[in-house]
Structure 1
Amino acid sequence: MPRTPRPMTPAQKRATTAPASPRRAAIIAIAITVALVTALAAIIVTTLNRPAPLALRAQAPTGELVTAETNRLSDPAEPAVTVVEFVDFECPACGDWHPVVSDLVARYGDRVEFAYRHLPLPVHGNAIAAALALEGAAAQDEATAMYDLLYDTQAEWGGQAADSQAGTFRGYAEQLGLDIDAYDAVVADPATLDRVSTDAADAGALGIRSTPTFVIDGEVVTLSSYDELESRIAAALGE
């Protein structure tokens, strides 16, 4: 036989229906306000302490295709032809061209000067950081090693959140056995960003807006295939 519930006492009824006291409501309101203010303050502090996104600086073009600071993959004493590639290390197309260029350097590097300059595109959020990493390695005569490593690992870091891969690139510097303090100093030096920006300014002066773009003996060339680059080089050599 079901039990008949006991009727609630007056005290129990008051406990379940009486609204919170003004003092208790005030305490709850204060607690909520403090929590919101604390959360807002944390957001503001995090935002203020967050480094500014990397961006190229306005620089005047040098008017030169190859400068004293330009990195080279080959440097013959008396080059018969000069090939300059404007690169973005996060650009998938540049990554596809990397083995092609490496092969041409191996076969023509004794007669052809192969150089590359930076053109980090806005669409690639870690391209500037990669360029700075390359320059950090170049300061210790390891530009080519970093150049190859950045392309060989592009699938691992490319396409990640903007400016999120500086630690990855620093790890590459350690992997290459670089002096990390010296590497850090070069990467953080505003002059290094200026150097990268100057490369981009020279690209703009030539009307170059995409990567990879090749310039052979001062002529910006449009290529329809990998083989065409070798054909253009052979033609410039008179072969």
Structure 2
Amino acid sequence: MRTLPVLLLRLALLVAIAASSALVVEYQNAGDPAFCGVTSGCFAVRMSPWSRPFGVPLPTLGLAAYATLFGMTLVARHKLRHAVVAALAVPGGLFAAFLLWLQKNEIGAFCPWCVAVDISAIVAAFASVWVALRAWKDESRVLLPQRRPVVLAWVGAAMFAVLVPFVWGKYPVVPPAPEAIQALQTPGKVAIVGFTDFECPFCRRMHPALHDIAARHGDHVSLVRKMMPLSGHPGAEPAALAYLCVPVDKREAVADQLYAAEPEQLTHEAVPALVAKAGVSAEAVATCMKAPQTRAELERDKQLFADLGGRGLPFTFVGRRVVLGYNPERVEMALAQELGGERVALPLGAMFVVLGVAFLLAVLVTLMTPVGDRDGGAPSKERSPSV
């Protein structure tokens, strides 16, 4: 088919645009599973150092790049323009192959949406070379109709590819919380379950924010802290053991002391006296910190963090929703959504149907329209080789 390479190129770019747009939503949602769950490969990829080159989310760069390439395919009617598209698409395809290699060998997890982007980029690179080679021999061999309905169909498909994932991202189907998190819920309240490390700088910033949120929402919220001392923070484990040894009604006051302490104060010897400022017995805490039961409870918290797919701190569940990192605004938003009850949820399959119809419509309009000039005339036999 004469139009096959051009259609393949445009469709591959549309898929890359749609998948990149979905990933942009995922990065903005900070853990709320619009398209990926917390235990998915997407989460692992997003937490890797490769996810933000130059501080910019990789999906944002990809969305801009693929949208630009797609726009170039709409105006490429001469061989030099097709060559430029290929010259840009091929490095993109090579970079996509490198990203697939990274997911397999460095990150150890595959993000389905990332894979969709990467494979589409490789297909687009192949198709762009195919188009360029054909155009170099005979430009008419890759010429598509330029009538207004055809152009509008492709522009509309691209707009759908960009915008539809954002619409679905606002109304995700949120799965139930994991059973271990459900077990921490208090009837009639939304539980905020935060995994923390008392020496972690971002956890220290998150503490007053969570305390303030819980205080403002009163009887509608319960705050639960789970311990996840990081190996690079020597004071985190003694602080965690001390926290677990304190009566529940004293834990907020003790948390205030532990988060505010200098890291060098968080030692097995110094922590008991530190928490005693909150009105608990230093001797009782020191004894409890050495007890096997306390160590076992700490290990259960750490195992729960691993089972839930945690990869960084703070790691916070707000009811069924997850907030990654220091993001109190996202906690507020997630809490408002949980307190508001059930809302409209758009199934992911319906998004694929909408996008598929938009893409298919563009293809059908193209195939049903005769090739001709913009005014509908017959194609010229002699075309300028100029750009």
2:151 counterpart of 1:151: no
**What secondary structure, in the 3-state scheme, does the structure 1 residue paired with 2:181 have?**
coil
Shift of residue 181, structure 1, vs aligned partner: 2.9
Deviation for aligned residue 1:223: 5.9
Distance 1:142 1:224, change over 3 A: closer
Overall identity of the aligned pairs, in %:
28
Q: What amino acid sits opposite 1:151 in the alignment?
A: Y
Change beyond 3 A, Cα 1:193–1:113: same
Deviations 1:132-155 (A, max 9, x none): 11122237x4212111111122xx
Structure 1 residue 115 displacement after superposition: 1.0
Question: Structure 1: how far apart are the matches of 2:280 and 2:326?
Answer: 38
Task: Count the aligned residue pairs.
Answer: 164
- Match of residue 65, structure 1, among 172, 178, 181: 181
* Letter aligned with residue 117 of structure 1: K
Gaps of 5+ in 2: 1-177, 342-387
- Give, in whole Å, the separation in 1 of the partners of 2:242 and 2:191: 25
Q: TM-score, normalised by structure 2?
A: 0.39
Where 1:110 maps in the other structure, the secondary structure is helix
Q: Distance in 2 between matches of 1:184 and 1:222?
A: 33
Asked whether 1:113 is paired with 2:215, we answer no
Distance 1:233 1:129 in 2: 31
Counterpart among 332, 337, 349 of residue 230 in structure 1: 332
Instruction: Give the alignment partner of residue 123 of structure 1, picking from 214, 232, 239.
Output: 232
CA distance in 1, matches of 2:194, 2:251: 15
Residue 204 (structure 2) aligns with: 95
Q: 2:193 aligns with which of 81, 84, 93?
A: 84
Q: Deviations over 1:180-207 (max 9, x none)?
A: 3322221110110110110110110010
Q: 5 Å matches for 1:193-212?
A: 193-212=295-314
Q: Distance in 2 between matches of 1:63 and 1:121?
A: 24
Distance 1:66 1:169, change over 3 A: farther
The one-letter code of the counterpart of 1:112 is: V
Cα offset, 1:95, TM superposition: 0.3
Deviations 1:195-233 (A, max 9, x none): 011011011001002111111223333367421210110
Distance 1:109 1:94 in 2: 22
* 2:274 aligned partner: 172
1:84 is matched by which residue type in structure 2? V
- TM-score, normalising length from structure 1? 0.61
Alignment deviations for residues 80-125 of structure 1 (CA, whole Å, 9 cap, x no partner): 3221100111100000111111110111131012211011111111
Task: Compare 178-187 and 129-138 and name the one that shifted more.
Answer: 178-187
SS in 1 for 2:194: strand
Residue pair 2:202, 2:325 contacting (<8 A) in 1 also: no
CA-to-aligned-CA distance 1:21-69 (integer Å, 9 cap, x gap): xxxxxxxxxxxxxxxxxxxxxxxxxxxxxxxxxxxxxxxxx951266xx
SS of the equivalent of 1:86 reads strand
Quick one: distance in 1 between partners of 2:270 and 2:217? Answer: 33
Task: List runs of 5+ in structure 1 lacking aligned partners.
Answer: 1-61
One-letter amino acid of the structure 2 residue matched with residue 81 of structure 1: V
Give, in whole Å, the separation in 2 of the partners of 1:115 and 1:82.
7
Asked whether the equivalents of residues 78 and 111 of structure 1 are also in contact (C-alpha less than 8 Å), the reply is no
CA distance in 2, matches of 1:228, 1:112: 16
Residue equivalent to 1:51: none
Measure the CA separation in 1 of the matches of 2:255 and 2:202: 15
Sort the Cα spacing of 1:174 and 1:99 in 2 relative to 1 into closer, same or farther, 3 A.
closer
| Counterpart-to-counterpart distance in 1, 2:327 and 2:235 | 27
Q: Whose radius of gyration is greater, 1 or 2?
A: 1
On the 8 A contact 1:65/1:202 being kept in 2, the answer is no
From the superposition, tell whether residues 102 and 122 of structure 1 become closer, same or farther in structure 2 (CA, over 3 Å): same
Label 1:224 to 1:169 Cα distance change in 2 as closer, same or farther (>3 A): closer
Give the secondary structure class of the aligned counterpart of 1:147.
helix
Read off the aligned partner of 1:85 and give its amino acid letter: G
More displaced stretch, 81-90 vs 214-223: 214-223
In 1, the alpha carbon distance for the partners of 2:270 and 2:311 equals: 27
